[in-house]
Amino acid sequence: MATIKAIDGRSVHQIQSGQVIVDLQSVCKELVENSIDAGATSIEVRFKKNGLDAIEVQDNGAGIAPDDYETVALKHYTSKLATYDDLSSLQTFGFRGEAISSLCALSNFHITTARASDGPKGTKLDFAQSGRLAGTSVVAAKQGTTVVVEKLFHNLPVRRKELEKNIKREYNKVLQLLNAYACISVGVKFSVSNQVPKGKKTVAFSTNANPSTRDNISNVYGAKTIAVLIPLHLEFAMDPSNRPGATQSARNWSTQEDVGSRNVKILGHISRPVVGEGRQTPDRQMFFVNSRPCNLPQVAKAFNEVYKSFNVTQSPFVFADIKLDTNAYDVNVSPDKRTIMLHDQTALLENIKEALLALFEHHDQSVPQAQLL
């Protein structure tokens, strides 16, 4: 008798969902990204008991059309990407169609949504664990979408226990990530609050739909942080094909067709390299690729190394958005899309160090330049 058998569909769904939604941070990341993709200009994130009881994300975006109610929570159903080739010109955060379906499998989950044309009425959508639509009801709602995730990991006891044990740390990690989204999202009002049992609802931070990232940073981190920042503006041309030992991917990147794709810009804000002005807060370093918050440990290391050559005692505040052609990196590396593969990272790092050194050497150390981005 054969001993190798297929795992049942329900178990496969649960296993795969656990790889997309690994912690509190991935829940918030997916939901906030969906709100931004829906064109929201106001995003409210509400935690109950630091997220242990519930995470709610409410936006004023486009809403979901009734024709999509049946499929919104099915795995690999997305309104953002039709074929693999579209990935290279991706303009949205989402593309895998996995987040909503995974949340159905791992929490008590529902959505309330209304489009502009739906009047003051919205629809509450309930789902089965599989992501199948289980029921709809009419509710009062303003335009936009509210996603409610209750009792995350209630059906994965080991993970639920871990979450309970580490909830304070997890919650702080989430705030850091939300800070990054709030700072990069120009024109979007963010509000993040937490309600603990029998306690008051506390606002963790908020921004005001500002016209610049500098104003967003001011809302999130305060005027004192802003006072020591200088504009970060690095620009260089990458020419990986001429470099000895250039990799195949680097050569591909610099083929004739994408001659225009080799200009790299890094825009943002950074602490002046003045002793006494940085801080010991490496958590105040945010990196983005084309406005997508991501983990770039090597890039972070390059920034810190150069800053240290001016100020050995402190770490800089860094807000750096790397503007690259969409075919110069790959976001499809990990299910949470926070890991980005940069083609020819070595050349990029060398260029960053050189340009940053020049920026620090030339800036006037006595006057912070209050220049808007």
Residues that bind Mg ion (CB under 5 A): 34, 94, 99
Which residues touch 245 (CB under 8 Å, ≥6 apart)?
A: none
Binder of ligand ADP out of 21, 24, 27, 100 (CB under 6 A):
100
Binder of ligand ADP out of 45, 56, 94, 294 (CB under 6 A):
94
Binder of ligand ADP out of 49, 96, 243, 323 (CB under 6 A):
96
Please state the closest distance from residue 228 (CB atom) to Mg ion, in A: 36
Number of amino acids touching ligand ADP (CB under 6 A): 22
DSSP-assigned states of every residue in 211-250? SSHHHHHHHHH-HHHHHTEEEEEEEEE--GGGSTT--HHH
Nearer to ligand ADP, 62 or 167 (CB): 62
Considering the rule CB under 6 A, would residue 56 count as an interface residue with ligand ADP?
no
Binder of ligand ADP out of 23, 28, 29, 30 (CB under 6 A):
30
Nearer to ligand ADP, 98 or 321 (CB): 98
Of the candidates 372, 354, 360, 183, the one whose C-alpha atom is nearest the C-alpha of residue 272 is 360
Count CA within 13 A, CB hemisphere, residue 280. Answer: 1
Binder of ligand ADP out of 14, 17, 26, 35 (CB under 6 A):
35
Binder of ligand ADP out of 51, 97, 273, 278 (CB under 6 A):
97
> Nearest-5° angle of CA 181, CA 184, CA 186?
115
Please state the closest distance from residue 348 (CB atom) to ligand ADP, in A: 27
Distance CA 35, CA 18 (A): 22
Please state the closest distance from residue 38 (CB atom) to ligand ADP, in A: 3
Return the bridge partners of 6, or none.
none
Distance CA 161, CA 179 (A): 26
Nearer to ligand ADP, 77 or 205 (CB): 77
* CB distance 289 to 265 below 8 Å: no
Q: Which does 234 bind (CB under 5 to 8 A by kind): Mg ion, ligand ADP, none?
A: none
Which residues from 332-371 bind ligand ADP, rule CB under 6 A?
A: none
State which H helix or E strand residue 18 sits in. Answer: helix 9-20
* CB distance 21 to 99 below 8 Å: yes
Considering the rule CB under 6 A, would residue 72 count as an interface residue with ligand ADP?
yes
Phi, psi dihedral angles at 108 (to 5 degrees): -85, 120
Considering the rule CB under 6 A, would residue 145 count as an interface residue with ligand ADP?
yes
Binding site for ligand ADP (CB under 6 A): 30, 34-35, 38, 59, 61-64, 72, 78-80, 94-101, 145
